[in-house]
Amino acid sequence: MTDLTAVEVIRAKRYGRALTDEQLRWFVDAYTRGDVADEQAAALLMAIVWRGMTPHELASWTDAMIRSGDRLDLSGLGKPTVDKHSTGGVGDKISLPLVPLVAACGAAVPQLSGRGLGFTGGTLDKLESIAGIRVAMTNEEILQQLRDVGCVICAAGPGLAPADRKLYALRDVTGTVESIPLIASSIMSKKVAEGAESLVLDVKFGSGAFMTVRAEARKLAEAMVSIGSRNGVRTTAFLTSMECPLGRSAGNAVEVAETLEVLDGGGPPDVVELTLTLAREMLALAGIDADPAAALADGRARAKWDEMIRAQGGDPDAPLPTAAHTRVVPAPSTGYLCRLDAMAIGIAAWRLGAGREDKDDPVSATAGVTWTKAVGEHVERGEPLLVLHGDDKARLDAVTAFAHSAYAIDREPPAPAPLVVERIAR
């Protein structure tokens, strides 16, 4: 029987004191069980936003979140296990080609993904553009598919880190999302509970990312790498730019179509570059000597994708849904595309119906934005630059004018900027 109280813990953090292991573990456990009220948890979260956490506090807080539920045991799969997590961005469909690619090279990849909220897309929303696909799976089904196929992309079950599910919902409505310790613990509690031996993080910064400033993204990456290492998970992170959207599409079905291009050996160069960068790191952490570029070129990655989709009830040969209406946004002048703003593209796709404002909102499989040029490429006045896709003509009308704010054309090409800017490891 503990004599701790929620008020005592809140006051300690409010005054900037480091919380003890006992205080942190008790609070997370009590809140998960319903013995601490939402308003008390919200007060502690706000105190953490203002006062931060020491590395030791963060480790104990995250450990308590992991211990709040199940932890998958992947030790019986007979092959190395490795996963990847992205902090989210516009056009970020990388998980879709990456998971089957790494599995085709010999690893088991348990990719437990989420849905989009706001202008950043969700992997599960994209995957559900495929006819028949099932993304809600039990732990037993996940383990069986990893044995049979070697990879899975699905939703995390309610038993994994339930404290995070409850705390995240509270953060979303109390203005306490923007905190590096809270973000890091939320991501890593689920990833550690998932049970993979190794993890590669894609931490994005820029206009279309949650972290707009590189220095803040680096702090987040370092915090997550530290948590992974403390929990026995080999963890590295890459900082990648999200000033421009990835690839040539933002939406759901349009991003799956681009995924298939990559898996068939083509696709936009930036998507291929990032997919291969992360694949090589995942395989290195897993101790597998394989060339992922060869697995893309010879069709093994595409075959593994088809196998994974079928295992989850989907039809990889079914045509993807297409929008009832499209609207072309032509280039207003001749020159070089010097800016394609990730946030503006993401907002346009969201307004067309590809994203959601509330976590329970439906999304359109067909809505989205595609573009014909990458930054630095030459454009001619009048040629198609953006294409808006949607089933609601009124939305197309409303978004067309806004879409012009997403780009800029100049007489001279911009200086090339790297996509992958830094690797972080312990």
Angle at which helix 214-230 crosses helix 55-67, to 10 degrees, equals 60
- Catalytic one of 63, 125, 164, 270: 164
Active site residue 171: yes
- Catalytic one of 68, 179, 185, 186: 186
- Catalytic one of 51, 166, 171, 373: 171
- Catalytic one of 85, 234, 373, 395: 85
Active site residue 164: yes
**CA–CA separation, 163 vs 32, rounded Å?**
5
- Catalytic one of 165, 190, 302, 373: 190
What order of strands is seen across the sheet that includes strand 82-86? 82-86, 198-205, 234-241, 420-425
Active site residue 3: no
**CA–CA separation, 146 vs 149, rounded Å?**
5
Active site residue 166: no
Active site residue 86: no
Any idea how long the chain is?
426
C-alpha distances out from residue 170 to 38, 46, 49, 87, 95, Å: 7, 11, 13, 19, 27
The catalytic residues are 85, 164, 171, 186, 190
